[in-house]
Chain A
Amino acid sequence: MTGGASTHVSKQAPVPTVPWGGIVAFLAIAGIVGAGVIAGLLAGASTQGILTNLGFYASIAIIFAVLALGFNLQWGYTGLFNAGIAGFYLIGAYVAAIAITAPSPPIVVGGIPVYPGHLGGYSLPLAAGIILAMFASGATAAIIALPALRLRADYLAIATLAFASILQIFANNLQSVTGGAIGITGIPKPIAFTTADAPFLNALTIVGIGSAILLLFILLLQFMAESPWGRVLRAIREDEEATMALGKNTFNYKLQAFALGGALMGLAGALFAVTLGYISPSSSFAPSVTFSVWVMVIVGGSGNNRGAIFGAFLIYGFEWLSVQLKDYIPSALAEGLPGIRSLLIATGVAAAVLLVFVLFVGRFIWPSARSRILTTVRERAWARSAIVAAFVLYGLGWVFVFLQQYAPRAIGDTIFYLRLMFIGVLLIILIIYRPEGVLREHKRVLR
């Protein structure tokens, strides 16, 4: 602060601000984990089963966090909009799988080919597979970016989306390399456990390896983002022409950022292949993966690595929770339907009575409290949002009750699609009202 501003502010003591974003983030993740554990307990799962499930959540969330870090480097820092995240993810997964699996010849049963086999069988160690995957994805990202980087953002989006869908076609049909629609199975785990609690130990090793890699890359990316290199990237995002005018070769910087982001996505693909033990081209690499990663970065806060990781844990948490609740909710709703309905009716009546009292009767009983409430509603954004949210929740409750009554199977069947619709709604609302996300980017002031 210089000049006129310092005359008004006598002391430069920093005001301790409450980190609301961080608190919200922590509470949201804790809520998801808690809800998942409670759902598991209600379903009667063993402690180890619940822990395995939580380990699966953590490992996939870490994979999405790596994807989100890659996309954040591309979009959040440099402003390059990548719509083909699923494609780079797919390359990483297939390259790693081909590198580390044992040979798998075609299987023919009675003259009918059951499994076409796939390229590879090199049985390389996991680290080699990960490095190869990163290299392949990064190089592909650079090649894709070459024609599209000089153009407007939407050309890059379309080119990368086209590239991702071509890759999916190839993965589905180029049987001799990718194993066709069945994909690649039998991808070895990092450590082969043979005991009864192998799933739990496997999840634990993946979480260990994944969090080590994640930590390494957070530190690395944070260091790079704060370095002069990262400063040029942010300058390109804000104003590319001005950055060029300052003598920076923006094309090279953009190419580097895009290739690095692509390499991170390849790393995520390699981790995914190891985590699941098999890969197939159908759903794991669908365009919805790309859209989920967008939501993660936008929710968390683009241009903020912590935000990207929080977004990944939150949005994948919703998906995981919807799977957990999918088996539980319909039956619970069916059992508790009368109770839920009477609860909804009682809440509605109580709210209506409260509204009547505040608006009409309160004037005669307790005028000061009434006016205080009305002023709060009129002046505070959070109060208005709370009222809107309450209405929406109430309406959703009734929707579920009616769905359960008239189409009992609909909820169980459609919960997956409802989740994707929810992601769509979230994308629109966030991009309109809070494009900076929950954990917003730290504004830097040059002195």
Chain B
Amino acid sequence: MAQVSGSLPSPTSRGSTRWAALRPTRQFRRRLFQASIVTVLFLAFVGGLTVLFGTIILQYAVGGLVVSSIVIVAAIGLTVLYGIRGFANFAYGDLMTLGAYLALLLSLNGLSLIWGAIVSFLVLAVVGVLLEVVIFARLEGRGPVPPIVASVGVGLIIQNGVRAVAGTQEWLYPVPASQDIVLIPGVGLHPVRGFLTLGVGLTLVFSAHVLLKYTNLGKAMRATADNLELAKATGIDTKRVTYAAWVVSCSFASTAGVLLGLGTALNPTMGFDIILLIFAAVIVGGIGSPYGAMLGGLLVGLSQEMSVPFLLWLERPDVIGLQFGTAYKVAIPFIILFVVLIFRPWGIAGRRPAFARRSYFIEQIARLLGERRRSETPTGEANGGR
């Protein structure tokens, strides 16, 4: 730190400052270090599981990556809106459904699915702005609950509108049938359902990163998410930022919906069924933090898919003979969610608030430990937790 700041003002060492500007900041280096530790731990975990269960676990891991890429795209969209508008959009899953069905409608009427997805991306962006103008702008400054109620209303309208128009039966996208591409023996991936989904997901994640990190709009969005009043005071047009957040959020919802429909089939509750997984990803990562959403989505998607072999093991009659064990895989992300809510409610990548209230369990544990400490030092830390 001292070296960098010392070398900046001197005009003589111009060349070295140029390179110093490119040196990663201390925070970034620390992040890199943490990320590499996480990656190593994860690889060790997968490797251990592979030794235990065989290469089938790699197949589940690859499937988990595909699910994760969908969840991550959706979670970024949800968390951007969450950060800026400050409410949990319960209609998000149904917006995904709407996007998926719009693409289906267009692809049934002659357009190719890719163009259908692009048009649905644009239409959903407009829908997002309309929702803000017609409904959510009127609920600003009334706390988190009224917008949640209104978003549930929007979700009910979309979901049942889709049911009334398209019926309750399942629809399939016109995807050409093809064999899975074999990566290593025993592990394969469908070219459209797997590789395309991963590719689109990565592209969207990268574009979100570029938008947030390298554009003025992204800077304004991050500032608004951080502190609305301060952002207003510095002259940021927060109204415009809000619209931009809706556009990003809803268009990402559309693409996530199309990817979700690509993976399985379209039905009117497809979005609502996955919304809790996305909420889990958002909260695990830390609400309002897009990078946390990426991490949370990865964790949630992978854990859901990779718990399958474990649940299959539980299904064996000589273990506990669980019936329909694999049906419980959707419960795994919620267990992670509850654990995170108990021990780290600001998320694994979120910033700890200055006045974070401790969770009940931690407080009890701290009290147990603290009593012993207090007996040693009479002054104690009576208010240390707050």
Contact = CB atoms under 8 A, between A and B. Distances in A.
A147 B164 contact: no
B11 interface: no
A428 B328 contact: no
A228 B159 CA distance: 43
B144 A153 contact: yes
A159 B342 CA distance: 11
A423 B156 contact: yes
B341 interface: yes
A298 B150 CA distance: 12
Contacts of B230: none
A291 interface: yes
A432 B88 contact: no
Contacts of A83: 90, 148
Contact of A424 (B139, B155, B164, B328): B155
A154 to B, nearest CB: 4
A83 B90 CA distance: 11
A173 B135 contact: no
Contact of A162 (B272, B280, B361): B280
B112 interface: no
A264 to B, nearest CB: 20
Contact of B345 (A151, A165, A287, A426): A151
Given A161-B276, A162-B276, A420-B156, A432 B150 contact: yes
Interface in B315-340: 323-324, 327-328, 330-331, 334, 337-338
Dominant SS at the A interface? helix
Contact of A174 (B148, B283, B323, B337): B323
B150 A427 contact: yes
Contact of A172 (B145, B157, B327, B338): B327
B149 interface: yes
A426 B150 CA distance: 9
Dominant SS at the B interface? helix
Nearest to B94: A424
Contacts of B88: 154, 157-158
B110 interface: no
Contacts of A410: 164
A427 B149 contact: yes
Contact of B153 (A170, A251, A427): A427
A161 B278 CA distance: 13
A158 B138 contact: no
Most buried by A among B149, B283, B331: B149
A357 interface: no
A169 interface: yes
Given A173-B327, A424-B157, A424-B160, A154 B87 contact: yes
A169 B279 CA distance: 18
Given A176-B323, A424-B157, A427-B153, A155 B341 contact: yes
B30 interface: no
Interface in B84-105: 87-88, 90
B341 A421 contact: no
B94 to A, nearest CB: 10
Interface string A412-428: 00100110110111111
B126 to A, nearest CB: 19
A417 B337 CA distance: 32
B102 to A, nearest CB: 18
Contacts of B279: 158, 161-162
A444 interface: no
B285 to A, nearest CB: 13
A175 interface: yes
A215 B101 CA distance: 48
Contacts of B155: 424
Nearest to A410: B164
A150 B386 CA distance: 13
Nearest to B324: A173
A150 B360 contact: yes
Interface string A309-342: 0000000000000000000000000000000000
Most buried by B among A162, A166, A426: A162
A428 B153 contact: yes
A151 B357 CA distance: 8
Interface string A136-163: 0000000000111111111101110111
A427 B152 contact: yes
B367 interface: no
B146 interface: yes
A431 interface: yes
B317 to A, nearest CB: 13
B161 interface: yes
A240 to B, nearest CB: 11
A294 interface: yes
A251 B357 CA distance: 11
Contacts of B146: 431, 435
A81 interface: yes
B154 interface: yes
B312 to A, nearest CB: 14
Contacts of B341: 147-148, 151, 155, 159
A143 to B, nearest CB: 10
Most buried by A among B145, B148, B154: B145
Interface in B135-174: 135, 138-139, 142-146, 148-150, 152-157, 159-161, 163-164
Contact of B283 (A150, A158, A428): A158
Contacts of B334: 162-163, 165-166
Nearest to B333: A162
B154 A428 contact: yes
B276 A418 contact: no
Interface in B263-322: 272, 276, 279-280, 283
B359 interface: yes
B283 A294 contact: no
Contacts of B283: 155, 158
Given A424-B153, A424-B160, A425-B153, A153 B143 contact: yes
Given A158-B88, A287-B272, A424-B155, A153 B327 contact: no
A165 B332 CA distance: 12
A120 to B, nearest CB: 17
A146 B361 contact: yes
Given A162-B276, A424-B157, A147 B152 contact: no
A159 B146 CA distance: 18
A80 B156 CA distance: 22
A25 B93 CA distance: 35
Contacts of A423: 153, 156
A210 to B, nearest CB: 28
11 contacts: A149-B360, A150-B357, A150-B358, A150-B359, A155-B345, A158-B88, A172-B327, A251-B360, A291-B152, A421-B164, A432-B139
7 nearest A-B residue pairs (beta carbon): A424-B156, A427-B153, A417-B160, A428-B153, A424-B157, A424-B153, A173-B324
Interface of B: 87-88, 90, 135, 138-139, 142-146, 148-150, 152-157, 159-161, 163-164, 272, 276, 279-280, 283, 323-324, 327-328, 330-331, 334, 337-338, 341-342, 345, 357-361
Given A147-B360, A161-B276, A173-B327, 14 more contacts: A81-B145, A146-B342, A146-B360, A147-B341, A149-B360, A150-B345, A153-B143, A155-B345, A158-B279, A166-B331, A288-B156, A424-B157, A431-B146, A431-B153
